[in-house]
């Protein structure tokens, strides 16, 4: 069985697993606490020790469901690295959904996440989405307060473009350790925006969310998706892979900015297949074949 290795993010950054288990969909998995604990144990056994959460995920909150499972085996906390995110405020009666990167909201969000997860610290905190009203000095102040209080060890961003990341970095002493972004063959917009080149230049490894386009790769019946699926299926045979999932993970990891895929499945076998994709070689021609199928045209 392939084992997922650890890598170091950024200079003096945290050690995390090369694949990350995402917990956005945890509330839909219909698991009791014991089943959630077994799932966590299974991915940790495979080397997938890093987990991705966010304040906003789930109703009931996925962080609380995860915390209930962790309570059954508190020693597990030392074996995992927890990422969470802050900054999205849900709509409520009379108020629209909005972003907030104010110092008080960042600190309050982290304190709630810690309570829900039943832990004293987050390994990494990400600003979930770029806030149009972001005051970078204020965010830097929040990060400093959280670090000094021992509540967060490292910081990063999510869905930021190059200018937004560069602005926030300019106010910080420590490097932002990642930018968590959507990366998959269905939506190539981010990959084509120049952001990956910017991250490669600064040696910031992105974390890739929705590698399988949230499952659309499997169930979307459009002509474009059928064309992509046919190409992926041919590559399953060429690469002796066991599934389309594996081909897509290999496609994402082939990119020179060295993205770290976040697994979205709550299925142990699919999680293990993602880990096995770590040893799947993909040629440049095969990589471009997926891109061409996704865009519906070859490169010039
Ligand atoms: P994804 O891997 O693109 O999609 C996961 C979905 O695909 C699940 O519903 C899964 O169902 C289904 N699936 C996987 N393999 C399948 C197969 N072979 N056949 C049919 N369905 C299949 O990932 P995602 O959940 O959208 O995102 C992954 C993680 O990224 C999230 O958990 C979250 O942590 C993070 N994320 C971050 C952001 C951000 O803004 N920073 C945004 C979105 C997500 P099963 O569970 O049944 O396998």
**CA of 23 relative to ligand 1 center, distance in Å:** 9
pLDDT at residue 254 tops 90: yes
CA distance 300 to 297: 9
Does ligand 1 come within 6 angstroms of the Cβ of 55?
A: no
* 262-291 average pLDDT score: 97
57 is catalytic: yes
pLDDT at residue 171 tops 90: yes
pLDDT digits (tens, 9 = 90+) for 200-226: 999 999 999 999 999 999 999 999 999
**CA of 129 relative to ligand 1 center, distance in Å:** 18
pLDDT at residue 2 tops 90: no
Question: Cα torsion for 209, 294, 197, 122, to the nearest 10°?
Answer: 0
For 13-43, b/e burial (b = at least 16 CB within 10 A) is bbebbbbbbbbbebbeeebeeeebbebbeeb
Q: What is the pTM of this model?
A: 0.98
* 185-194 average pLDDT score: 91
pLDDT digits (tens, 9 = 90+) for 36-68: 999 999 999 999 999 999 999 999 999 999 999
**Which tokens belong to 273?**
């297949």
**Are the beta carbons of 48 and 271 closer than 8 angstroms?**
yes
On average, the pLDDT of the chain sits at 97
Q: What is the pLDDT of residue 174?
A: 96
Q: What is the pLDDT of residue 191?
A: 84
Confidence band of 130 (pLDDT split at 50, 70, 90): very high
Q: At what angle do helices 223-238 and 244-253 cross, to 10 degrees?
A: 90
Does ligand 1 come within 6 angstroms of the Cβ of 247?
A: no
Does ligand 1 come within 6 angstroms of the Cβ of 265?
A: yes
pLDDT digits (tens, 9 = 90+) for 72-129: 999 999 999 999 999 999 999 999 999 999 999 999 999 999 999 999 999 999 999 9
């Amino acid at each position: 069985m392939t084992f997922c290795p650890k890598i170091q993010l950024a200079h003096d950054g945290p050690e995390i697993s090369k694949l990350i288990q995402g917990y956005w969909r945890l509330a839909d998995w219909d698991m009791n606490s014991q089943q959630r604990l077994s799932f966590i144990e299974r991915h940790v056994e495979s080397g997938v020790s890093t987990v991705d959460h966010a304040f906003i995920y789930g109703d009931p909150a996925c962080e609380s469901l995860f915390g209930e499972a962790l309570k059954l085996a508190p020693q597990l906390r030392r074996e995992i690295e927890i990422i969470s995110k802050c900054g999205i405020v849900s709509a409520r009666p009379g108020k629209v959904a909005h972003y907030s990167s104010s110092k008080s909201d960042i600190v309050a969000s982290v304190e709630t996440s810690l309570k829900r997860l039943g832990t004293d610290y987050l390994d990494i905190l990400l600003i979930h989405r770029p806030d149009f009203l972001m005051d970078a000095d204020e965010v830097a102040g929040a990060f400093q307060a959280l670090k000094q209080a021992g509540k967060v060890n490292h910081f990063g961003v999510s869905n930021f473009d190059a200018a937004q990341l560069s602005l926030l970095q300019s106010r910080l002493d420590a490097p932002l350790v990642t930018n968590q972004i959507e990366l998959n063959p269905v939506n190539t917009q981010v990959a084509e925006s120049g952001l990956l080149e910017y991250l490669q230049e600064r040696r910031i490894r992105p974390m890739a969310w929705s590698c399988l386009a949230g499952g659309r790769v499997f169930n979307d019946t459009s002509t474009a998706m059928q064309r992509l699926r046919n190409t992926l299926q041919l590559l399953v045979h060429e690469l002796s892979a066991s599934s389309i999932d594996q081909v897509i993970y290999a496609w994402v990891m082939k990119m020179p900015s060295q993205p770290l895929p976040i697994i979205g499945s709550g299925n142990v076998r699919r999680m293990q297949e993602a880990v096995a994709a770590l040893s799947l070689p993909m040629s440049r021609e095969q990589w471009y074949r997926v891109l061409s199928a996704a865009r519906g045209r070859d490169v010039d």
